């Protein structure tokens, strides 16, 4: 199975155990890369949705997922480090 860049990056991020593994600017770059990947995946889902018949039951779930995706990716300051929660072991809020 061949992993895409964003999948490899996500696996690497989730495996970090040292909060000082990267400087804060690198966390920002990881966030930007993953945000871009989120937009790309959402665009791919939209392309596949456009090929489905209007009565396909998968459309409703896809609309819900894309609605939430759009909401999260378009919030002002919507970057992994600007939300109010934190991830244990990560030195910057995510």
Each residue's pLDDT tens digit, 40-59: 889 999 999 999 999 999 99
- Asked, for residue 3, whether it belongs to a domain, the answer is no
> What domain range is 56 assigned to?
24-74
Q: Rounded to whole angstroms, what are the CA distances from 58 to 20, 37, 45, 70, 79? A: 42, 22, 11, 18, 29
- Asked, for residue 70, whether it belongs to a domain, the answer is yes
Q: Which residue has the higher pLDDT, 3 or 15?
A: 15
Is the confidence at residue 82, as pLDDT, over 90? no
- Asked, for residue 88, whether it belongs to a domain, the answer is no
- Asked, for residue 52, whether it belongs to a domain, the answer is yes
**DSSP symbol at 80:** T
- Asked, for residue 10, whether it belongs to a domain, the answer is no
- Asked, for residue 17, whether it belongs to a domain, the answer is no
What is the number of structural domains in the chain?
1
Helices (H), 1-94: 5-14, 24-49, 58-74
Q: Which residue has the higher pLDDT, 94 or 48?
A: 48
Could you count the other beta carbons within 10 Å of the beta carbon of residue 65? 12
pLDDT digits (tens, 9 = 90+) for 54-69: 999 999 999 999 999 9
Reduce the DSSP state of residue 55 to 3 states and report it. coil
Could you count the other beta carbons within 10 Å of the beta carbon of residue 35? 16
Q: Which residue has the higher pLDDT, 65 or 14?
A: 65
Per-residue pLDDT at 74: 84
Predicted TM-score (pTM) of the model is 0.64
- Asked, for residue 43, whether it belongs to a domain, the answer is yes
Residue listed under structure tokens 């791919």: 44
- Asked, for residue 83, whether it belongs to a domain, the answer is no
């Amino acid at each position: 199975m061949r992993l895409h860049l964003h999948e490899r990056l996500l696996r690497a991020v989730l495996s970090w155990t040292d909060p000082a593994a990267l400087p804060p600017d690198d966390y920002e770059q990881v966030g930007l890369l993953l945000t871009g990947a989120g937009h790309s995946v959402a665009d791919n889902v939209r392309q596949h949705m456009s090929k489905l018949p209007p009565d396909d039951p998968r459309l409703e779930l896809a609309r819900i997922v894309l609605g939430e995706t759009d909401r999260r990716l378009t919030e002002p300051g919507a970057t992994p480090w600007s939300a109010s929660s934190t991830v244990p072991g990560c030195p910057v809020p995510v």
